[in-house]
Amino acid sequence: MKSVNIPAIAVTRLSLYARNLALLDQKGVEVVSSAGLADICGVNPAQIRKDLGYFGQFGIRGVGYYVKELVYEIRKILGLEKEWRLALVGVGNLGSALLRHAQFLDQGYTFVAAFERDPKRIGKEVGNITVAPIRAMNRLVKEKGVEIGVIAIGPRWAQQAADKFVGAGIRGILNFAPVQLQCPSDLHVENVDFTRTLDRLCYQLTLNA
Amino acid sequence: MKSVNIPAIAVTRLSLYARNLALLDQKGVEVVSSAGLADICGVNPAQIRKDLGYFGQFGIRGVGYYVKELVYEIRKILGLEKEWRLALVGVGNLGSALLRHAQFLDQGYTFVAAFERDPKRIGKEVGNITVAPIRAMNRLVKEKGVEIGVIAIGPRWAQQAADKFVGAGIRGILNFAPVQLQCPSDLHVENVDFTRTLDRLCYQLTLNA
């Protein structure tokens, strides 16, 4: 398989294809046409062929894709055939929901540690994980082989949490705090800010009012 | 002010500027240079001037932007000077976290109803809202003037929930379920899928391993 740097949006689509193929597999579907897969995913068939085309030749002309095989191939492309170990900081409403989020587990993501500044939350069990104090981060991240830090703490503490994750040696951050984190350039940061997505929706509704 | 259809990514940046300006305002800062604002937001100053330039002339050369005034103007541009009324379906871990999410309230978003299929959850109070059965959706959406439906129910029930929201007359959907919803073309749908964002992060980590 070729290793290529494809556009971020294509990666996001690949992950959508893999998700829907896995659902088909669960239903016992063995083969799907590119038109069928396109329909389920809400994209056009040419897009699917193009996105997969970055990585080689998949599917059989006139038949379609073998579901199990394509899930496997896409997960390999995305680096999801391995288990990724995550640690979370900020076990409030959102953080607790993330620790218990079924879809993370389904996709091979495992939370192995969770940290808090609030003494009242330290020691509690959330989704099979005992919440630890932030000062234990450096040790636990190394001991448990954490690669990805998830930030679900308030905006005021997010940068400090990121600095501690970086100091402990994590490689990537998934950031739910509504702030722009300052991180070393070799660290990968992805932001999830659903208030901004909601803002975008309202802008569209206002335009078309 | 001009009403223009600017790129979605520019809308997302405007909402980032507004967020950071509001934080500056809370700290008592009255004026900020475009370089200063750019630094906080992690973009370059030319980008800020370009994004604002779609809508007119803001700021004073050699001085910068009046913080309070610019927050107000951007919120007006985004249609956020009004209160938006939201209803949520699916009061599980994620749904409960969303109902209690402080940042929604701060930004003028108000949940006025929440719905569930699970009888065990119906009647419970979550974030000041009494969880209602899905069959009450049509009536409550109309009574409470809900404009936006938030879907936090599992993938299996998401389409059905969307159909019910559409039938009840909502104008936009914020979808957290990892499925592509089939909706009428005049309805606005924005998806938040953080498993896909995490997939993208892992792809980057795999490329640079």
Reported as type and span, the H/E element at residue A45 is helix A45-53
Both structure tokens of B87: 């209803």
Handedness of CA A45, B187, B148, B41 (dihedral sign): positive
With CA atoms as reference, the chain A residue closest to B198 would be A174
Q: Are A201 and A183 in contact (CB under 8 A)?
A: no
- Say whether pLDDT at A105 is over 90: no
Chain center to CA of B15: 9
Which of B147, B182, B205 lies at the smallest CB-CB distance from A188?
A: B205
pTM of the model: 0.84
Q: In this structure, which amino acid lies at residue A41?
A: C
Residue B23 or B91, more confident: B91
What residue of B is the nearest CA neighbor of A187? B205
Tell me whether residues B200 and A148 touch, CB distance under 8 A.
no
In angstroms, what separates the C-alpha of B100 from chain A's closest C-alpha? 7
Each residue's pLDDT tens digit, A110-119: 999 999 999 9
Q: What is the pLDDT of residues B57-81, one digit of tens each?
A: 888 888 889 999 999 999 998 888 8
What is the CATH number that goes with domain B84-196?
3.40.50.720
Residues 59..118 of B with a Cβ closer than 8 Å to A: which? 77-80, 84, 92-94, 96-97, 100-101, 103-104, 107, 109
- pLDDT tens profile B160-169: 999 999 999 9
Which residues in chain B touch residue A5, judged by CB atoms under 8 angstroms apart?
207
Euclidean distance between CA atoms B99 and B33, whole angstroms: 36
So what's the pLDDT on residue A154? 86
Closest by Cβ to A190, choosing from B100, B180, B201: B201
DSSP strands (E only) in A90-183? 109-116, 125-126, 129-133, 148-151, 172-175
Topology (CATH level 3) of domain B8-78: Arc Repressor Mutant, subunit A (1.10.10)
DSSP state of A44: -
Element (H, E) at A52: helix A45-53
Q: Are B98 and B127 in contact (CB under 8 A)?
A: no
Neighbouring CB atoms inside 10 A of B28's CB total 7
ipTM entry: 0.86
φ, ψ dihedrals at B91, nearest 5°: -100, 55
Start-end of H helices in chain B: 8-26, 34-41, 45-53, 67-78, 93-99, 102-106, 137-143, 155-168, 194-207
CA A161 to centroid of chain Cα atoms:
19
- State whether B190 and A197 contact (CB < 8 Å): yes
Do the chains contact at A180 and B42, CB–CB below 8 Å?
Answer: yes
Rounded average pLDDT over A199-207:
90
Query: Best mutation site among B103, B157, B187, B191 for testing chain A: the one with the most A CBs within 10 Å?
Result: B103
Q: SS3 for B160?
A: helix
CATH number (1.10.3720.10, 1.10.1660.10, 1.10.10.10, 3.40.50.1860) of A8-77 reads: 1.10.10.10
Amino acid at A70: L
In chain B, positions 125-144, which contact chain A (CB-CB < 8 Å)?
A: none
* Domain boundaries along the sequence of chain A: 8-77, 84-196
pLDDT digits (tens, 9 = 90+) for A147-176: 999 999 988 899 999 999 999 999 999 999
How far off is chain A from B161, nearest CA to CA, in Å? 17
Q: State which residue of chain B sits closest to A86, comparing Cα positions.
A: B198
Query: How far is Cα A33 from Cα A98, in angstroms, rounded to an integer?
Result: 34
| Nearest partner of A198 among B142, B48, B18, B23, judged by Cα | B18
Bigger pLDDT: B145 or A209? Answer: B145
Share of chain B above pLDDT 70, in %: 98
pLDDT at A22 over 60: yes
Chain-chain contact of B5 with A207 (C-beta, under 8 angstroms) = yes
- The closest CB to that of B180, out of A42, A172, A201, belongs to A42
Report residue B164 CA to chain centroid gap.
21
Q: Residue A3's pLDDT is what?
A: 55
User: How far is it, in rounded angstroms, from Cα A99 to Cα A13?
Assistant: 25
Please count the other Cβ atoms lying within 10 Å of the Cβ belonging to residue B26.
9
Residue length, chain A?
209
User: H or E segment at A75?
Assistant: helix A67-78
Q: Which of B20, B192, B196 sits opposite A15 (nearest CB)?
A: B196
Q: In this complex, is the C-beta atom of A203 within 8 Å of any C-beta atom belonging to chain B?
A: yes
